[in-house]
Amino acid sequence: MKEKLRLSLTLAAIVVILDHLTKWLIVTYVPQGSEIPVINGFFDIVHGRNTGAAFGVMSAWDNANKHYFFYVMGAVAVVFLYNYLKSIPQNDRYSQIAIGLIFGGALGNLIDRFMRGSVVDFLSVHYYDQIWSTTLFGHNWIIPLTWPAFNVADAAISVSVTFLVIRGFKTPRPA
């Protein structure tokens, strides 16, 4: 268990450090609400604040106590990840790595909420601010070709969860 814990916690610490170093750079050098084009029409560095969950979900939830909800959810995630890590076989390095990255991302954003009351997001991916619209099943669909702003912690979580889901479909189940 010690080796599993060491690998996962080391990766979690690396994610937290990178996450907060990049957030510090954004808060220090990029005024809130501004945008710095990196790849014109595709990728910008921005300075946004997210008071909701991942990708701004629940940001509009107008409740004076919603920050407590996110603190509790973050703590539940950390406890769940620790217990899940204990169930992973010692030789399953891929899952240990993924859990470490998710743990670091969850902790990075939780620390941000405690420090700032919101999460700093700064990576913006989009396609020339275009909108795709179509009619499907009698409904008009309007879809912006923009991904919500995110950060290092979000990227670590998203990539690792995607990896675990794909791996779960490919791993044969015991009879």
8-state DSSP, 88:
S
Instruction: Pick the catalytic residue from 44, 112, 121, 129.
Output: 121
Burial of 139 (0-12, 13-18, 19+ CB in 10 A): exposed
Is 112 known to be catalytic? no
Compute φ and ψ for 91, nearest 5 degrees.
-90, 0
Could you tell me which residues come within 8 angstroms of residue 38 by beta carbon, excluding any fewer than 6 positions away?
44, 45
**Token digits of residue 160:** 């690792």
Q: Name the active-site residue from 19, 44, 112, 154.
A: 154
The answer to whether residue 121 is catalytic is yes
- Write the DSSP assignment of 7-66 as a string of letters: HHHHHHHHHHHHHHHHHHHHHHHS-TT-EEEEETTTEEEEEEEE-SSGGGTTTT---TTH
**Which residue numbers are catalytic?**
121, 154
